[in-house]
Amino acid sequence: MLKATLLAFTLLAATALSATAAQPAADPLAPAGHWTGATAGRAATPPMGWNSWNAFRTDVDEAKVMGTAKVLVDSGLRDLGYIYVNIDDGWWLKRRTSDGRMQVRTAIFPSAKVGGSETSSFRPFTDKLHSMGLKAGIYTDIGGNACSQAYDLHSPNLPEGTIAERQIGLHGHVQQDIKLYFADWGFDYIKVDACGINVYGADRPFVKQHKYNAYPPLIDQASINRTNIPAVRALYQQVADALAASNPDGDYVYSICAWGAANVRAWGKDVGNLWRTSGDITPQWSRMLHTFDSASTRALYAGPGHWNDPDMLFVGHGDFDVHHLTEARTHFSLWAMIDAPLIIGYDLRNAPQALMDIWSNKDIVRLNQDSGGHQAVMAYDSDDVQIFVKTLSDSGTKAVLLLNRGSGPAEITLTPAQLKMVGDVALTDLWSKKTMMLTGGERTFTLQPRESRVFKAKGKRQLADGMYLSEIPGAINIARDGVIVPVPDPIVHRMSNPWGATTNSGERPSYGGWGGARADATPYDQALTVDGKVFASGIGILANSRMEVKAAGFRHFEAKVGVDDSTRNLKDKVVFQVFGDGHLLAQTTAAYGQAAQTLSADLANVKTVELVARSEAPTSDLPLVVTWGDAALRE
């Protein structure tokens, strides 16, 4: 039985990979001639709404969900954009063995009682939410079993029945389940977890104790090298394909919950609408910093239709409860600035007004929902304080957030240059609503521990007739970033393990991303520098990379390009190329130690610019860091 199950799972992953494997090899750096960034689903801006997990874990029921939905409507949160009402783990009863159809736990969702004891349907539930102007979300797992069956073993709402009946994940039922959830039941959003391909190995005691079918782990959260990245991606791609088939109108949102594993930071944007960049958040300040850091440097991988997800909001709990409003506002502001989904995780039926005031801050929500979709970029970075700047769709308008990460007061000085502006800048505090001017070249703010300040900034752009590419990350698709072997990101904050004591050596970096493309920094977090010249603006990326840039409305491209001084590969040359809708417009060659070279191109009638950096006759396998200094689109 076990051998047969393992073989079936291996064949499933192999089948999912076969379509890709069968394609003939092609030059990955060849220009596509058009924008290839994924646009499926309905997530032009980050999804907003509510999820049951942080409020109730598996102790969820219809009364709690509908009570929350009523608050969303009555409070005005729905009208601000909080429209998704998502059920997490705990809703299922079993999988019917006669035909594999999933059964709802009608004891906690009584409206699902239709057609007798052996049939149930969420359609009355979703119809009710839709009638309220809301959308409905559901939860599942990419494997055979869900996370609660491994970690919430005392829950009263675990799946029941035989081994087969308790296999309520998508494994072996992708098309069937997705059609049921969307075409039949009317859901609009799905979160797909990955415990079923991670923690159900035959050596796990709970697998034997509860007689689960064992599955060889495809994900090793402690080791990227031991994770079968192609197989994990292929399984999630199966779900994407099924969603497209069951939603011909494209009205769905697809959330990938693989906790930053399997190098999802690189491929999540091509498969789903949002993807977790880290393990679970908890209501602790240090854990919030951990999940935030896992997404905060990846602005170039997010944009309209696809978003970095550092996990759901924990405003209202623990370090972010009503007694810690400074921390709660900071948590909410950070998520808004980096275009994270704003998914509330609190029992709204009992929410105090102080918390409601945070979620309902229209100005902060507008930052998150700005149509440009540009995730904030770090203008200043340290372990103590940070400055993030976000370009808004209003001409000459940006948002800036000052963050004190530490336990003591901190002074933070803001300059127009950090905003990529010149002259005087008008600032509006988006919490206090006070206005002030940034004059005389700088202004210094004193922030209390864990405090942030968020401003809307209006002034003259440094480029009066254009935009630096690092200002508009949402208009860039990293088609290929040059990373050959995924490497854990060492600059994500390391907190003490929230699920255990300090009995081991600590939690090590495990999320891929080190070496990925960066705005205003190199892939390895150094200043952009070519032959001693530092560029405050630009894109840092590895050689053998290709970027796509939306060029509509601009007439000219320019950059100063070269091999970055921080590169470990000092031997190989790089060919820099600029393509417009597939046609070569300009190119040059550079080597380490050479001054940055000007590369420019006329963009008349061009819709998509492609920037290629290709190593020429490579002799070394060391990473070759290149800089597109002052890269800009000009009118």
Proportion of the chain above pLDDT 70, given as a percent: 96
Res 135 pLDDT > 90: yes
Position 361 confidence tier, pLDDT thresholds 50, 70, 90:
very high
- Write down the pLDDT at residue 504: 84
Among residues 152, 220, 280, 429, the one annotated as catalytic is 280
List Cβ neighbours of 109 (8 Å cut-off, separation of 6 or more): 61, 62, 91, 120, 122, 125
Residues 9, 215 contacting (CB under 8 angstroms): yes
Position 13 confidence tier, pLDDT thresholds 50, 70, 90:
very low
Going by their DSSP bridges, the two strands 84-86 and 135-141 should be labelled as parallel
The per-residue pLDDT of the chain, averaged, comes to 94
* pLDDT tens-digit series, residues 532-549: 999 999 999 999 999 999
| Catalytic residue check, 203 | no
- Write down the pLDDT at residue 459: 96
Name the DSSP letter for residue 463.
S
- Write down the pLDDT at residue 502: 86
- Write down the pLDDT at residue 611: 98
* pLDDT tens-digit series, residues 567-578: 999 999 999 999
**DSSP calls for 562-602:** EE-TT-S--S-EEEEEEEETTEEEEEEEE-TTSPPEEEEEE
- Write down the pLDDT at residue 180: 98
| Catalytic residue check, 309 | no
Strands (E) located in 448-542: 452-461, 466-468, 476-480, 518-519, 528-530, 533-535, 538-542
Res 3 pLDDT > 60: no
- Nearest Cα neighbor of 313 from 334, 337, 286 is 334
Query: Stretch 457-466: mean pLDDT, rounded?
Result: 96
- Write down the pLDDT at residue 496: 85
- Nearest Cα neighbor of 85 from 29, 8, 151, 137 is 137
List Cβ neighbours of 255 (8 Å cut-off, separation of 6 or more): 47, 189, 190, 191, 192, 272, 273, 274, 275, 276, 309, 341
Name the DSSP letter for residue 181.
I
Residues 508, 488 contacting (CB under 8 angstroms): yes
Among residues 177, 188, 193, 481, the one annotated as catalytic is 193
